[in-house]
């Protein structure tokens, strides 16, 4: 167990576990420890991750201009059509607005932007300062909606002690309010919604093509490359398929309660998980022809990529990887994918994992693996150095840590430009890992 440098953070000792030493009883699913400089993001960050990929909607940040840093470019979302989501709008509240209120400024901004860009809906994100000055954002949204005739939804993402998970909840509340309450639930045969896929590198297009080939109708993707009209029709689906369990499970449960639509959890990352996801969806519909088409697709895709995967595996066998991601479901898939490449995971951490998820992580990892919850840069650096990792997989905040330590880094979250989902995504992942781990530049670092 690494403990050098942790003396000032004694309360964190139960958030780091070494597999094989004792039962995994992690201290998790709590607020970040004050002063720990956690890798977690704010409530607004969580809400915009979920909603910003809706490409034909207006997204307006109600708060100081600094909050607008958390907009599309920090987590890209590709669109096959409109790109209104790529424009970063803010009410840019100043000292005067904080004193006298920003409601008039918000109303004027909404009306101007709606008239100029003609969006299909508008989302207004309340950031922390709004929770202090008390602007009635809901009243402004109702007023503008009545004037302009499009849905205008408040997204309550203010909160100083909240976390990204609270932002997910706020976004899902806004999404649920868009559903057509008059739609006939489960009225389309062989139909699904995909929840928690944000099309960062074009993954939604790959996944939708698989379902098209086997005969499944994808009504909506929430929210990668999505459209407001598609989201409104989501209650017509027979099944919800939840890809990112942390951000969208709550919405899936709400839809099950309101519309009777069941849901399953899947992952589209890694050969094993992609195949299982397709089989699980096919099994739900109990259609023999559908299952045969699914088997044919899986066989065809694996046959096409396996030779290249095996070539990379020859060089990567025995290399060590550390990973720190948002949710534990993503960590499970990464561990299986790295195992398929012959690599050993020596550290697995998440920002928002729950106790049962950490128990599962401890079960699938080899003895001696460090399991970490809600870490900070000091802890991550110490863990990675202790375990002698050759590769660090994380997001935009973990990149500087890896580079400062002279480690290869792979972005599995915000800034990547290539798709990692599906069978072809596994090839992209293997290619990037191989190029990173075998790069000659790391010979010049003394670790």
pLDDT digits (tens, 9 = 90+) for 205-231: 999 999 999 999 999 999 999 999 999
Q: Which residue has the higher pLDDT, 133 or 447?
A: 133
Tokens for 431, please give them.
Answer: 């290619």
User: What pLDDT does residue 431 have?
Assistant: 97
Distance separating alpha carbons of residues 315 and 275, to the nearest angstrom: 25
User: What pLDDT does residue 375 have?
Assistant: 84
Tokens for 232, please give them.
Answer: 């409104």
User: What pLDDT does residue 32 have?
Assistant: 52
pLDDT of 200 above 60: yes
Closest CA to 189 of 163, 159, 219: 219
User: What pLDDT does residue 34 have?
Assistant: 47
Look up the pTM and report it. Answer: 0.89
**Confidence grade of residue 28 (pLDDT, cut at 50, 70, 90):** low
pLDDT digits (tens, 9 = 90+) for 271-312: 999 999 999 999 999 999 999 999 999 999 999 999 999 999
User: What pLDDT does residue 155 have?
Assistant: 96
Mean pLDDT for 86-99 is 92
Tokens for 178, please give them.
Answer: 């868009």
Q: Which residue has the higher pLDDT, 37 or 151?
A: 151
**Confidence grade of residue 11 (pLDDT, cut at 50, 70, 90):** low
User: What pLDDT does residue 8 have?
Assistant: 36
Third-level CATH fold of 43-176: Rossmann fold (3.40.50)
User: What pLDDT does residue 343 have?
Assistant: 97
Intervals of CATH 3.40.50.1980 along the chain: 7-27+317-416, 43-176, 191-298
Domain 191-298 listed as CATH 3.30.70.890 = no
pLDDT digits (tens, 9 = 90+) for 124-147: 999 999 988 999 999 999 999 999
Q: Which residue has the higher pLDDT, 27 or 242?
A: 242
The answer to whether the beta carbons of residues 204 and 197 sit under 8 Å apart is yes
Cα separation values, 409 from 161, 328, 364, Å: 30, 19, 23
DSSP 114-142: HHHH--SEEEEEE-HHHHHHT--HHHHHH
Q: Please return the burial class of 405, using the count of CB atoms within 10 Å of its CB with bins 0-12, 13-18 and 19+.
A: middle
pLDDT digits (tens, 9 = 90+) for 393-420: 998 889 999 999 999 999 887 667 889 9
DSSP 61-92: EES-GGGGGSSGGGS----SS--GGGS-EE--
DSSP 280-332: HHHHHHT-HHHHHHHHHHHHHHHHHHHHHHHHHHHHHTT-EEEEEESSHHHHH
Place of tokens 């050993």: 344
> What is the number of alpha carbons within 13 Å of residue 139 lying toward its C-beta?
6
pLDDT of 270 above 60: yes
Q: Which residue has the higher pLDDT, 185 or 291?
A: 291
Q: Which CATH superfamily is domain 7-27+317-416 in?
A: Nitrogenase molybdenum iron protein domain (3.40.50.1980)
> What is the number of alpha carbons within 13 Å of residue 386 lying toward its C-beta?
17
pLDDT digits (tens, 9 = 90+) for 36-76: 455 556 888 889 889 999 999 999 999 999 888 777 666 67
User: What pLDDT does residue 206 have?
Assistant: 97
Percentage of the chain beyond pLDDT 90 is 64
Kindly give, in sequence order, each residue whose CB lies less than 8 Å from that of residue 441, ignoring residues fewer than 6 positions away: none
């Amino acid at each position: 167990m690494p403990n050098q440098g942790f003396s000032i953070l004694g309360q964190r000792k139960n958030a780091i576990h070494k597999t094989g030493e004792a039962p995994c009883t992690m201290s998790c699913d709590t607020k970040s420890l004050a002063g720990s400089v956690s890798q977690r993001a704010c409530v607004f960050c969580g809400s915009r991750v979920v909603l910003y990929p809706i490409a034909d909607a207006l997204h307006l940040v109600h708060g100081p201009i600094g909050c607008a840093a958390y907009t599309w470019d920090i987590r890209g979302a590709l669109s096959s059509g409109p790109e209104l989501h790529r424009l970063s709008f803010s009410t840019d509240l100043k000292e005067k607005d904080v004193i006298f209120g920003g409601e008039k400024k918000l109303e004027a901004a909404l009306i101007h932007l709606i008239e100029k860009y003609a969006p299909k809906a508008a989302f207004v994100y309340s950031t922390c300062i709004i929770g202090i000055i008390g602007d009635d954002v809901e009243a402004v949204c109702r007023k503008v909606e009545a004037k302009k005739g499009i849905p205008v939804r408040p997204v309550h993402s203010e909160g100083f002690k909240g976390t990204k998970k609270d932002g997910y909840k706020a976004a899902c509340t806004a999404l649920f309010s868009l559903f057509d309450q008059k739609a006939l639930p489960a009225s389309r045969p062989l139909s699904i919604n995909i929840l928690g896929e944000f099309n960062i590198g074009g993954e939604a297009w790959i996944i939708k093509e698989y379902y098209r080939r086997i005969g499944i109708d994808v009504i909506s993707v929430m929210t990668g490359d999505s459209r407001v009209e598609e989201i409104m029709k989501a209650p017509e689906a027979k099944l919800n398929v939840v890809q990112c369990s942390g951000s969208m499970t709550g919405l899936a449960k709400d839809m099950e309660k309101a519309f009777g639509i069941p849901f399953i959890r899947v992952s589209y990352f890694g050969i094993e998980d992609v195949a299982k996801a397709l089989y699980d969806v096919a099994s739900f519909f109990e259609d023999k022809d559908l299952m045969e088409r699914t088997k044919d697709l899986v066989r065809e895709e694996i046959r096409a990529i396996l030779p290249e995967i095996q070539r990379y595996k020859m060089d990567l066998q025995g290399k060590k990887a550390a990973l720190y991601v948002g949710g534990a479901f993503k960590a499970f898939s990464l561990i299986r994918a790295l195992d398929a490449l012959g690599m050993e995971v020596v550290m697995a951490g998440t920002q928002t994992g729950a106790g049962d998820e950490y128990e599962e992580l401890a079960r699938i990892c080899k003895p001696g693996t460090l399991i970490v919850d809600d870490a900070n840069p000091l802890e991550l650096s110490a863990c990675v150095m202790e375990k002698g990792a050759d590769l660090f997989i994380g997001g935009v905040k973990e990149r500087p840590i890896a580079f400062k330590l002279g480690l290869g880094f792979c972005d599995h979250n915000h800034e990547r430009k290539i798709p990692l989902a599906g069978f072809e995504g596994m090839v992209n992942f293997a290619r990037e890992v191989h190029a990173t781990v075998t790069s000659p530049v790391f010979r010049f670092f003394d670790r």
